[in-house]
Structure 1
Amino acid sequence: MHYRPNIFLLLLLFSFSTFVMHAQSKKQLELEAKRQTILKEIQQINNLIASQKKEERSIISTVEDLNYKVKVRQNLIKVTNDQANLLTREINDNQKQITTLRDQLKYLKEDYAAMVVKSYKSKSEQSRVMFLLSSENFKQAYKRLQYIRQYTDYQKQQGEEIIRKTEQLQQLNTTLLQQKKDKDRLVEENRIAKQKLEEDVKEHEKLMVSVRKNMSTYASQVKSKQQEADRIDKEIEKLIRDAIAASNKKAGKSETTSKGFALTPEAKALEANFQANKGKLPWPVRTGVIKVRYGKQRSSIDNTIEINSNGIRIATDKNAKVRAVFNGEVLAVQATRTGNPAILVQHGNYVTVYRNLSKVHVVKGDKVTTNQEIGEVFTDAVTGECWLGFYVYKDSKFLDPALWILR
């Protein structure tokens, strides 16, 4: 039985390969989920653009949309490439496992055949009864009986193992064929995605030629929009600072040393619950895509201009309903002479802001619940563009809202 150590080694290698395969399959599912999310994002932005009046849209908005689509398609191609590469590794691993299984089956069948021959010879030479009766004492007879039983059981196990390995080999072959089909599909989808990316890039470049001819005019418009956003942000910050000062004054605390709201036990519990739901909060609109992210970034029109976004800008459907992302109390309704209204909702020391509204369904002091409709997003009557500015603050400090809502 000199080949048994080899069988053990093969089983060990096969077990390790199975573990690696399981880890890769999990990664494959994660990548596929990510790819589907990106595909949905592309579909949403295409639907949003299609619903807008192309002849009335500004070049700046069109360039921003194309720039966004290019980035998303590039991300799609990257994820699809990762999937295809992972599938290649899985295919190679499966091919190795098939080779290992075939070797195992070869050894098992040889071992099983040897046992059958030995069993046949044993029966022809003498019966089991004679084998037991020829024992020198009861102890030896008992041990021989144990040996006969163990040998029979082992023979049965080997037969069952051969059946199991054969089925496993058939299953791996089926999986391998499916993986090769999946890889071919991904390669074809990536080819189409690259083709569409090239089309978007060409259209983007064509528009940028027009932009460069009047760069100073467009750059001035970008700066003007940034200044307006900064002005509104400062008003929001002031509203929060004033509310913090008022809450501390009411609680008899120093207004100068207290950086956060004076909270009741209930408000503290609400804050803890809000914080515990980071990354799990619902979106403030039913559908949409994040076109402008949090933080400093270069303008898609003029990369020499730095844009600072204290929140995120979500492009959404016409006249979209705005929903509170968590339980809280309306801290303020901001109304300006030049900008559209904004709603501030307090969740302990956290405040969520919903900006660029056309309608407001709540007033200061109202209690709101998760997913409750609190307003409606403003839709530009000329272009059909519709976007929501969404912010998250803590103690009047900006946080990245994208980290708080569901991904």
Structure 2
Amino acid sequence: MNTRSIVAAIFFAILSIPSLSFSQSSEQKALEAKRERLQNEIKEINRLLLSEKKERGNVLEQVEALDKKINVRQQLIRVTNQQSNLLNRQINANIRNISKLREDLKLLKDDYAKLIRKSYQNKTQNNRLMFLLSSESFFEAYKRFQYMKQYRDYRKGQGEKIVQKTDELVTLNRDLTEQRKVKEQLLAENVKVKNTLYREISSQKELLKTIRKNESKYAAAIDEKKKEARRIDREIERLIRSAIASSNKKTGKSSATRFVLTPEAKLVADNFSSNKGRLIWPVEKGIKSQGFGVYADKVYPGIKHQNNGVTIATDEGAKARAIFEGEVITIFTNKLGIKGVYVRHGNYISMYYNLSNVYVQKGDKVAVKEVLGDIYTNRFDGKTQLKFYLYEDTDRLNPEDWIYQL
């Protein structure tokens, strides 16, 4: 291989290393952010759902909270494994790059040694001066001088490349050492997470045994939960139909299932729709304790439950806030004094239920993040939970599709 080929090969090798490093670094950062989010979610589950005070609540809720934490911990293990696998690929890539750099460095040093020997021979024999003086013309002497200058610059460049390659080799070796340390830390953390997971699964099994000893009591608790959920759903849908009918009456229409939109209301609806997946949480801080849709019972998987919204656990004293600009169209209070607020966004409705106090009135225009009321705290189990619903006219929507990272 000649010198020019060697230099070209090394140049392309240098170009390829940063791009590989950049893409893997971006992926690693994304995984680290996801891992941090899952770790924070576990902390919030412990704080909001499984604190000492809340554990005095019913056993069924403890099982549900443990199940959620187990699921999050399993996600954390998967993400940590992904990080470890990515680091493996980075380590292997670094090993290949180090091997290639060592080969390139050897070729450069051999080539440089030849240049030094040739230069030394020329110098001792005074060949440079003779080379210039033997020129037949000034122009030829000038060309020979330029050639000698280029040769000197090339030799200097070869020396600089050796220094550069040596520095790169040192850096890659240092990166490799750091990557191996990070990998060892990730593997050690995964062992701890798995051990904790096994303990939580064992704890959940013990709780399930307790529940199954009191099957009749548990069945009654399920039945009560279903009745309450159905009652809330019927009331929500009745009030939505009433609000639609009241709004449409002003335009001379009688529909109770679809809003008749003014140009202004249509603009609000379009803006709301265009923000799908980016809407803010209806609380400043919290975790989703129950998602949308049909889900299997934790004790008897054959029994199915339906949640037409999402339930968000938060801190005592937390406030419900509007997820988007809109108009308060309904406020209601149930027999126990628990309140709910309906906010219209064109033909979309966001509904905030389980409030102890409300700060807005029907007809108020509200801005995004505006406080609507205080979220009720159950004094028996200490839980503070907002039940949040989302509708397009009378059609139920999954809030998880609309709220960012819900």
Same fold flag (TM > 0.5): yes
* Residue 312 of structure 1, CA deviation: 1.1
- The worse-fitting range, judged by mean Cα deviation, of 194-203 and 104-113 is 104-113
- Asked whether the equivalents of residues 279 and 404 of structure 2 are also in contact (C-alpha less than 8 Å), the reply is yes
Separation in structure 2 between the aligned mates of residue 130 and residue 311 of structure 1, nearest angstrom? 93
Q: Is the 8 A contact 1:316 1:387 kept in 2?
A: yes
* Partner SS, residue 368 of structure 2: coil
Structure 1 residues 230-239 or 291-300, which shifts more? 230-239
Moved more, 80-89 or 329-338: 329-338
Q: 1:124 to 1:330 in 2, by over 3 A?
A: same
Say whether the 8 Å CA contact 1:261–1:395 is kept in structure 2: no
Aligned partner of 2:279 in structure 1 is: 281
Distance 2:146 2:271 in 1: 65
Tell me the residue number matched to 1:89. Answer: 89
Partner Cα separation in structure 1 for residue 69 and residue 139 of structure 2: 83
Q: Distance in 1 between matches of 2:227 and 2:5?
A: 76
Identity of aligned residues (%): 43
C-alpha distance after superposition, 1:213-235 (max 9, x if no partner): 33344234224313322332232
User: 2:87 & 2:396 partners in 1: Cα distance?
Assistant: 41
Structure 2: which 5+ residue stretches go unaligned?
none
1:33 positional shift: 0.7
Matched, 1:272 2:270: yes
Question: What secondary structure is seen at the aligned counterpart in 2 of 1:334?
Answer: strand
Write out aligned runs for 1:107-122 (5 A).
107-122=107-122
Contact 1:53 1:383 in 2 (8 A): yes
What TM-score does the superposition give when structure 2 sets the normalisation length?
A: 0.90
Deviation at 1:388, TM superposition (A): 0.8
Matched residue, 1:171: 171
SS in 1 for 2:331: strand
Alignment of 1:190 with 2:228, yes or no, is no
Give the Cα–Cα distance (whole angstroms) in 2 for the partners of residues 251 and 114 of structure 1. 94
Among 293, 296, 300, which residue is 1:295 paired with?
293
Partner deviation per Cα, 1:124-179 (whole Å, 9 max, x = no partner): 44454543454455664454344333333322222222222222221222211111
Q: Tell me, which stretches of 5 or more residues in structure 1 are unaligned?
A: none
Which of 2-11 and 238-247 deviates more? 2-11
Contact 2:244 2:255 in 1 (8 A): no
Q: Which structure 2 residues correspond to residues 62-211 of structure 1 after superposition, within 5 A?
A: 62-128=62-128, 130-136=130-136, 140-211=140-211
Structure 1 length as normaliser, TM-score? Answer: 0.90
Pair 371,136 (structure 1): closer, same or farther in 2 beyond 3 Å:
same
Tell me which moved more, 143-152 or 292-301. Answer: 143-152
Assess if the C-alpha contact under 8 Å between 1:244 and 1:262 holds in 2.
Answer: no
Check 1:245–1:88 CA distance in 2 against 1; reply closer, same or farther (3 A cut).
same
Query: Could you tell me whether the CA contact under 8 Å between 1:328 and 1:368 is conserved in 2?
Result: yes
1:294 maps to a residue whose letter is F
Q: Which amino acid aligns with 1:250?
A: K
The answer on whether the counterparts of 2:354 and 2:376 sit within 8 Å (CA) in structure 1 is: yes
C-alpha separation in 1, matches of 2:219 and 2:328: 37
Aligned partners of 2:292 and 2:398 also within 8 Å: yes
Question: How many residue pairs get matched?
Answer: 405
Instruction: Tell me the SS of whatever aligns to 2:29.
Output: helix
Relative to structure 1, the CA distance from residue 59 to residue 152 in structure 2 (aligned partners, 3 Å threshold; closer, same or farther) is same
- Structure 1 residues 186-195 or 137-146, which shifts more? 137-146
